[in-house]
Structure 1
Amino acid sequence: MATAAKKIVEKAGAVLALSPSDILIGDRLGAFHPDKALALGQLMAEDGQIVPIIVRASGPRAAAPWTLIAGHHRLEGARMVGLAMIDAIAVEAGADALQIEAMENAARPSRSPLERASFVRAIADAAEARLKEQHGDLSPEQIAARARWDVMKAKASGVERDNDLVDAEAEHTRVNFTRVYGWRDEVAAAIGMSIESVKKDLALHRALIAPFPALWRELATHPTIGENASALREIASIVEIESRRALIESLIQAPEMTLAQAMDGLALKAPKAPPASGATKYMNNTTSNLDRLSAADQARIAPEIVKTMKPSALLALRAALDARIEQEGIGA
């Protein structure tokens, strides 16, 4: 059945009108929301379809000629309301399906925190795989980031809660994104993929998705917890993995229950980080405030920052700037 579909893929980029029954749905990165699918189907029935789904030609023995890559809710919505045809864009059969799905979905604000974490993890894994295919030609920063990440991975057993590991993985991923996708820091931030947001996403994935592949999608669609990033981070902060599992299962079994009620029922308390003090407190405040500024604002206030530096620190600042400029390849 897929032979004709493969011939059509030669016109990649063109919008095709396909029967929803001719499209297979394989493994998905995100969770499925039936109410959302129905709402999208009704909108498409009334106002027409605005955004095409993405498909690829199936294999020769597949039950349907096309396989879905992105647009699960749109496709299921079309089926729910009985649409005869749905608009689709076909990509080459060799395209990385999971990477395409992840890239299309990660930056969408409508995604729940756990779904976004799943997509970001997929993008990071795709970048890692592509980088491993390249030999040599790595900058000192890339070599250092990979070496640090390898050391941190070796020390971690299973799901690691160590903050140093989280920082090392985020930096390693940032370097990979720069190398593979050409994302500078300001570009990554503009599409919602700053190092801080990636750090939070990967930490959620490590704590709530990787250990619980059969549970996280139900947690992602929980009526009170699924969209609450701070509540999810509180669950992730539970150090003991079995306690985390019991808390997630309790929430899934009683969707009307709040996080506080579930934690009280299991006698759990989220650990509190010790408050920063002294130089660490001021450093955290400074870097946090700078991270909120755009690249243009940072450039504008750079002379003021230099003026506030003590003379004895200026040489260290210059050395750090020279090293960063060389690493980023922006000396010209």
Structure 2
Amino acid sequence: MRPESPASGRLLGLFAEAGAQRLDLPVLHPADPFLETAGEDVRRRMFVTEGPRGERLALRPDFTIPVCLHHLAAAAGPARYCYEGLVFRRHDRGSPERLETGYEDIGHSDRTGADAEALALAIAAVKAMAGTSIGVRVGDIGLFASLLSALGLPEPWRRRLRRSFGLHDLMAANLDRLAAPREPARGHLEPALSEAADRHDRGAVVTLLAESLREQGYAEGAGRTAAEIADRFLDQRALAETRLDSATIAVLRRFLGLRSDLRDAAERVTRFGREAGLDLGESLDTFAARNEAVASLSNGSPIAFEASFGRPLDYYTGVVFEIVAAGEQRPRAGGGRYDRLMEMLGAPSPVPAIGFAIRLDEPDGAGS
């Protein structure tokens, strides 16, 4: 364990003033919640070991999932939390330990207000710590998801593009593949299964696979179910078969190229939707209302909207942001809205939540 940063503890009072309860959380956690929800970028950087009973354990790679698990176990109503401590991830250079502080707002139904308050608090915190000017950039995975829906993409492609949101090289490769899809591999499929797949008849595919598994002697519960295998199989076919025309690909690329000051972003996106003949629905209304609320709380801090900006975590559902101090390359802070995460961790329904983490290491410490 390395010594605390000179910035240690400086921001916890600010978070407490915003109504956050400080949590002291264990360093070692069950690994599965991270492995199942955090996304590929985090999974490949984690430190995973085995407990005394053979269970998988991990040094915490972030605080968001432990805070959510605490909230879930406490069966709490709306609450705000703050924390400080080490997180552990492999990096290409530098130490695998990083000192972080942060804030999570869980359960408050006023998403617009919570988004604006969290972003304003993150800006104030980084300003207090850095003592210099800052740059803020914002994206919105919810807006992008609405665009994919309005374009009528099949669900497998919507999931694939959502997961590559913010990863520019992967997104470019996926758009290239949509412009020129590959013929699905047919292998040695039974004729009846091939015909059912060609009709996209999920029920028939599940029935045929279940019969095949029984004939091969697979015991129920010993592996993936016929339904799970069918869904994966049909998803792969849909990914291979779907082709978008050049005009639709151009619309996607044009959206991802949108950039503006946040104050002008709603107007820019509205004009984009009108010119493309697309209805972005409630997500655009939410986007406009949130931008207005952010402007009223951010004390004139310059905030840039980049339609292609995202963060490589699977659970984000709405606004995402990062904050960079002047003269630094890596972000000091990053966060976003993650309304799906509590449900993924066991809540009976989605729970509104937003949060951010701030790196307390010196500017030349390990990257994020």
Relative contact order higher in (CA < 8 Å, ≥ 6 apart): 2
In proportion to residue count, which structure has more strand? 2
TM-score by length of 2: 0.22
TM-score by length of 1: 0.24
In proportion to residue count, which structure has more helix? 1
